[in-house]
Amino acid sequence: MATVHEIKTVEQFNELINSASPTTLVALDFHAPWAAPCAQMNAVFETLASQTSPSSALFLSIDAEELPDISESYDVSAVPFFILLKNNTIIQKISGADPTALASAITSHSGTSTLSVPSLPPLQPVSPTTESTNPSTSSQPVAEEEDLNTRLSKLVSAAPVMLFMKGTPAEPKCGFSRQLVSLLRERGVRYGFFNILADDEVRQGLKEFSDWPTYPQLYVDGQLVGGLDIVKEEMEADPSFLKGE
């Protein structure tokens, strides 16, 4: 039964990767704590590891935000994201919460004959940040929500291009925010930004306002473009996208 190694440092990662046999499958699980599908797929990843011989596969779990040097080196722009390696060479990538695809890939490349496909664990319900069980005060949260939505409407339109990120452009606090700042900088885009770590009300409220659960988020003319992966796709599809904004 293989063990999932939780990677804490780049040095630990390099040591494990370099010590693996050229014939050993190395499975990398990139995740982030704020993404519910990651929690589901982490459980699937551990279940698959428990069915695999340690001599045939090495399972590594990586927080994509805490270790941006690793995630950026593999061009990870969304989570959950899985990469399979042999002899330090990428042989397959799997994006998103797809247990069947992950199990099939590990089975194929590790030589394991009978990997059962685990189902996704149920998502845990998330309670709203403002809640009232007293009918006499039920109008108060509604008013507060309206006030927050008004504030968010103004924030997303505060500049022609607005970036909601973890940290600041000078000190990004996650790898995804750092990559998006770099993309904007490379194109000479002028933009406003908001550090969502400094305001939890905005951090939580914007997820519902935009119907987009992760950060960073990029807005253009008050309209949501998306996160890092969507912005990358837009830039690749249209070289003039945001050019010199």
pLDDT at 67: 85
pLDDT at 151: 87
Q: Where are the beta strands (DSSP E) in the chain?
A: 4-6, 25-31, 57-63, 81-86, 89-95, 161-165, 192-195, 217-220, 223-226
**Is the CB of residue 215 less than 8 Å from the CB of residue 164?**
yes
CATH of 4-110, one of 3.40.30.10, 3.40.50.880, 3.40.50.1450, 3.40.630.30: 3.40.30.10
User: What are the residue ranges spanned by the domains of the chain?
Assistant: 4-110, 150-237
Q: Kindly list the distances between the CA atom of residue 176 and the CA atoms of 4, 31, 76, in Å, as whole numbers in the listed order.
A: 24, 12, 8
Per this entry, what is the length of the chain? Answer: 245
Enter the tokens of residue 17: 């990767």
Q: Which fold has domain 150-237?
A: Glutaredoxin (3.40.30)
Three-state DSSP state, 188: coil
Closest CA to 161 of 128, 185, 136, 129: 185
Element (H, E) at 115: none
CA 105 to chain centre: 21
pLDDT at 29: 97
Is the four-CA dihedral 65, 184, 207, 233 of positive or negative sign? negative
**Is the CB of residue 163 less than 8 Å from the CB of residue 193?**
yes
Rounded Cα distance between 44 and 238, Å, is 37
**Residue 38 neighbours by CB under 8 Å, 6+ apart:** 31, 32, 79, 80
pLDDT at 76: 78
pLDDT at 126: 37
CB-based burial, 29-42: b 16+ in 10 Å, e otherwise = bbbbebbebbbbbb
**Is the CB of residue 28 less than 8 Å from the CB of residue 82?**
yes
**4-110 and 150-237 have identical folds:** yes
pLDDT in tens, the chain (245 residues): 889 999 999 999 999 999 999 999 999 999 887 667 888 899 999 999 999 988 899 999 999 878 878 887 887 767 788 999 999 999 999 988 888 899 999 999 988 776 777 666 554 443 333 333 333 334 444 445 558 888 899 899 888 899 999 988 888 888 899 999 999 988 888 888 888 888 888 888 999 999 988 899 999 999 999 999 999 999 889 888 887 55
Residue 89 backbone dihedrals phi, psi, to 5 degrees: -120, 130
DSSP conformational letter for 8? -
